[in-house]
Amino acid sequence: MSGVSEPELTHAGLNLSDEPAGERAQINSDVFGFWVFLMSDAVLFALLFALYGTMEGRTAGGPSPTDDFKFHSAIWETAALLTSSFSYGMVSISLKHHARKRWIAFWLGVTFCLGVIFLGMEIHDFVDMASHGSTPEADGWLSAFFVLVGMHGFHVTCGLIWILTMGAQIAIFGLDRRVKINLIRLGLFWHFLDVIWVAIFSVVYLQGLL
C-alpha cells in the first residue's frame, strides 16, 4: 500500500535505523547465528541437569548436599551474578542511546569485577568442599555436581576473558560496527549464564537443602 513505510529493524542493544538495508540484514543474521550457538549450549546444560537429576541422592554413604552446601555463599554468588546482568544491561543501554566509550568501558569493568567476585566465591567453595573430602571421585552425586557447576564456572571464565577482549577492541578500534555486534553477542552470552545459574541455584542448592 502506498504511503505506508516498512518498519525499521532494530535490536535491543543496537540502533539499526541509520544502517543501509543490506547492513541491517547482515547484522541481524550475525546476531541470529549467535542465538543458534546459545541454543546448542542450552542443550549441553540440559544434559548436565538431567545427569545431576539421575545422580541426586546417590552418595554411597558419602557427603550429602546438606553437609557440603554453603547456602549463604550461594546467595551472595547469585546476587553478584544477577547484579552483573544489570550492569551489562547498562552496557547495552549506553551502546544504543549514547555510544560513549567511557560509559561502556565503565559498565564493562563493573560487570567484570562482579564476575570475578562470583568466580572467586565459587572456587573458594570448591576448595573448602575438597578439604573435607567432598571431591568428584567421592560419589556419583558429587561427580554430577562438580561437572554441572564447574561447567558453568568455566563459561563464566570464558565470559570474563571475552570482556577483557572487548575492552581491548574498544580501545583499539573504537565503537565500529564489528565491536558493537561483538558487544551484543557478549551480552546475550552473559545473560544466558545468569539464566543457567538461576536454574542451578533452584535445582541444586535450594532443592538440596530441602
5 DSSP assignment: P
| pTM of the predicted model as reported, rounded to 2 decimal places | 0.85
Q: All 3 cell numbers of residue 132?
A: 573435607
The Cα 107–Cα 160 span in angstroms is 13
Contact 164, 48 (CB under 8 A): no
106-122 residue pLDDT tens:
999 999 999 999 999 99
71-110 residue pLDDT tens:
788 899 999 999 999 999 999 888 877 668 889 999 999 9
The Cα 82–Cα 79 span in angstroms is 5
Helices 177-200, 21-55: axis angle to 10 degrees equals 20
Of 111, 202, 81, give the one whose Cα is nearest residue 148. Answer: 202
19-49 residue pLDDT tens:
555 555 666 677 788 888 899 999 999 999 9
Q: pLDDT higher for 184 or 33?
A: 184
Question: Predicted confidence band at 175 (pLDDT cuts at 50, 70, 90)?
Answer: confident
Q: Sketch out the chain's domains with CATH numbers.
A: 21-209 (1.20.120.80)
Residue 8: exposure state from Cβ atoms within 10 A (0-12, 13-18, ≥19): exposed
